[in-house]
């Protein structure tokens, strides 16, 4: 059956029109679907009984309910949702000083096959539907209840490549950012990508959400090895698209760089990265590698990380070191594999 949370605003408007309803019903319906977190059509109490009856004959609402919530020592919570066929997807709820950040998944698995990423190693199963993307947020809001810290920040840095599922990401983003929907601020919603140029252009045209791009290597030879997508779209292609990416005057693109000891952490590589960044309005997030089962790499020593950061700073680049959260429950960047492929969490 049709899931109302899979539909864009325009598709919902069409559905209501087809059912002979007045346009103002759309706002009511949107409020129930998102801020109201309705669990079913029958709960939408300001819609007439008749409309609710006819609506529920055509459409329903799927509920995303975590089958498990794992709590990290550092306060991060990993929400594991069943995704059919014994598989699972994960979101990570991260407490910060004055707010929560939620890290969201967009696919079951991933097609990018990045060598250092655990999700990349599990292969690809399927795209998440728009309602499964926004559903992770509704579920996190349910879990938080009336906790004092608000959930204000979203990052699409969980399982999957968001731009490889753009048709489902865009309607979800529309509801996430719209004031009739969840009303998140566009600065606080970040889509992270390994860099698919055509899709990047489409993303830039379609949404004002913030952008993060995973660079991870300063030259094509190394990036080809770490991120197979680079063999199709290399660093030059990527830079050309980023130079034209529509950005509001005060905004910057975030570049993510996973630091792998002895692989991409040499001072010369920091200088090369700084050269590549020239002309781009960007800042760099350095993420020391998070280990996972089967990984052949390790994170650099602290002083190597700081030296790398220093070099970027000396080239007038803002570079922050991001210490990943939730490592003890395999909730950190690059550790998400879903329960079925996880650290023996499941017996399926």
* Chain contacts with ligand SAH (rule: CB under 6 A): 112, 116-117, 157, 161, 192-194, 214, 216, 256, 258, 287, 289-290, 333-334
Which residue in the shown chain puts its C-beta closest to ligand SAH?
334
Minimum distance from residue 214 beta carbon to ligand SAH (Å): 4
Minimum distance from residue 307 beta carbon to ligand SAH (Å): 19
* Catalytic, out of 110, 117, 282, 333: 333
Minimum distance from residue 205 beta carbon to ligand SAH (Å): 20
Nearest residue (CB) to ligand SAH, 91 versus 193: 193
Minimum distance from residue 150 beta carbon to ligand SAH (Å): 23
**Length of the chain as a residue count:** 348
CA distance 254 to 210: 8
Return phi, psi of residue 119, to 5°.
-60, -40
CA distance 220 to 264: 12
Nearest residue (CB) to ligand SAH, 25 versus 292: 292
In the residue annotation, 90 being an active-site residue is answered as yes
Minimum distance from residue 327 beta carbon to ligand SAH (Å): 9
* Catalytic, out of 21, 90, 132, 256: 90
Nearest residue (CB) to ligand SAH, 72 versus 214: 214
Nearest residue (CB) to ligand SAH, 12 versus 130: 130
Q: Give how far the C-alpha of residue 260 lies from the chain's centroid of Cα atoms, to the nearest Å.
A: 22
CA distance 247 to 309: 25
CB 320 within 8 A of CB 255: no
In the residue annotation, 11 being an active-site residue is answered as no
Where do we find the tokens 């349910």?
Answer: 142
Provide CB contacts within 8 A for 7, sequence distance 6+: 15, 130, 171
Minimum distance from residue 199 beta carbon to ligand SAH (Å): 12
The closest alpha carbon to 95, from 73, 66, 117, belongs to 73
Nearest residue (CB) to ligand SAH, 16 versus 158: 158
Minimum distance from residue 169 beta carbon to ligand SAH (Å): 11
Nearest residue (CB) to ligand SAH, 100 versus 116: 116
Nearest residue (CB) to ligand SAH, 105 versus 134: 105
CA distance 132 to 81: 10
β-strand partners of 258: 287
Residues forming the active site: 90, 333
């Amino acid at each position: 059956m049709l899931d109302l949370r899979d539909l864009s605003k325009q598709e919902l408007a069409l559905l209501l029109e087809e059912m002979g309803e007045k346009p103002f019903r759309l706002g009511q319906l949107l409020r129930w679907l998102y801020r109201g977190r309705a669990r079913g059509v029958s709960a939408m109490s300001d819609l007439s009984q008749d409309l609710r009856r006819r609506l529920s004959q055509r459409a329903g609402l799927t509920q995303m309910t975590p089958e498990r919530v794992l709590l990290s020592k550092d306060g991060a919570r990993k929400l594991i949702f069943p995704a059919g066929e014994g598989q699972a997807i994960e979101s990570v709820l991260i407490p910060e000083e004055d707010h929560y950040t939620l890290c969201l998944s967009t696919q079951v698995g991933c097609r990018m096959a990045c060598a250092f990423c655990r999700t990349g190693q599990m292969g690809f199963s399927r795209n998440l539907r728009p309602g499964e993307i926004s559903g992770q947020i509704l579920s996190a809001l349910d879990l938080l209840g009336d906790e004092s810290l608000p959930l204000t920040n979203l990052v699409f840095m969980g399982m999957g490549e968001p731009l490889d599922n753009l048709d489902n990401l865009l309607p979800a983003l529309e509801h996430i950012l719209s004031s009739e929907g969840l009303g998140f601020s566009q600065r606080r919603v970040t889509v992270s990508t390994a860099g698919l140029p055509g899709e990047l252009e489409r993303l830039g045209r379609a949404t004002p959400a913030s952008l993060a791009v995973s660079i991870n290597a300063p030259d094509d030879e190394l990036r080809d090895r770490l991120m197979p997508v680079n063999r199709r779209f290399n660093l030059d292609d990527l830079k050309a698209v980023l130079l034209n990416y529509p950005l509001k005057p005060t905004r910057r693109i975030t570049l993510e760089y996973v630091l792998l000891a002895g692989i991409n952490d040499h001072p010369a590589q920091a200088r090369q990265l700084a050269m590549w960044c020239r002309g781009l309005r960007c800042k760099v997030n350095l993420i020391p590698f998070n280990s996972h089962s089967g990984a052949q790499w390790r994170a650099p020593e602290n002083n190597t990380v700081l030296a790398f950061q220093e070099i970027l700073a000396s080239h007038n680049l803002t570079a922050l070191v991001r210490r990943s959260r939730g490592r003890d429950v395999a909730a950190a960047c690059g550790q998400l594999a879903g329960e079925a492929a996880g650290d023996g969490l499941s017996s399926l």
